[in-house]
Amino acid sequence: MISPEAIVDPDAHISDSATVGAFSIIGADVEIGGGSVIGSHTVIKGPTKIGKNNKVFQFCSIGDDPQDKKYDGESQSILEIGDNNVIREYCSINRGTAQGGGVTRLGDNNWIMAYVHIAHDCLIGNHCTFANNTTLAGHVLVEDYVILGGFTGVHQFCRLGKHSFSAISSVIVKDVPPYIMMSGNTAKPTGLNREGLKRHGFPTDSIDILRKAYKLIYRDGMLLKDALEEVRTLEQHCPQLIDFIKFIEASDRGIAR
């Protein structure tokens, strides 16, 4: 399953059911799980662990050194990729740095379109979609089911809550709470991601309460601490609201507002 034109380091560990295309280079301390397909002309450096049933298209750079001036070749620098991810052409995903915890991580069932860059120490959840040319700076946290439109740029250390959504060419410099849609440079909230929530089975009653919470935070002109107090009165009627509140309370950068 390994092309004779590929170059594979003897210290790499590749499953017998994995495929490596022609002219790809697989370095030492790289692990590729069963059923994964690595396209041609792709470079994977270690330490990198790639799980099962991933598909990496041609001309990707996976697990190369962090683009961080503080990085000095320390061993605490790894990349972990889960299962069932699709990574399209010309994507680059860098390993972590010691200052950021040492790990860049991509979860399961993500769809990473062409020319996406995921920088050092980013932690990506599951079922996310990053459209073409999305760029994540270092230390970005992305929760589950996040959709980023093409050419979205995310500032370092930002957090993106679950089921959030960005329009094309958004520039995100603050934390984005769960369930929120963003647009613009710099990105501002444009509403609740109602369509996305419907598609993922959120009850209508819960969506209505989340919409009320959105209006309290973003549309009623209240101070954030006062708006959160009002939002907490809705919490007992909507379990999903707990994640929304906790995310805002934990924000160090402040939320986009």
> Which of the residues are catalytic?
120-121, 138
The region, left, alpha or beta by phi > 0 then psi within -120 to 50, assigned to residue 212 is: alpha
Strands 92-94 and 61-64: parallel
Burial level of 183, CB count in 10 A (0-12/13-18/19+)? Answer: middle
Is cis: bond before 66, omega within 30 of 0? Answer: no
Beta carbons within 8 Å of 217's beta carbon, 6+ residues apart: 177, 224, 227, 228, 231, 248, 257
Contacts of 222 (CB under 8 A, 6+ apart): 216, 230
Closest by CA position to 97, among listed 117, 74, 116, 63? 74
Give the whole-angstrom CA distance, residue 212 versus residue 230. 10
| Sign of torsion over alpha carbons 65, 66, 67, 73 | negative
- The C-alpha atoms of residue 38 and residue 22 are separated, in whole angstroms, by 9
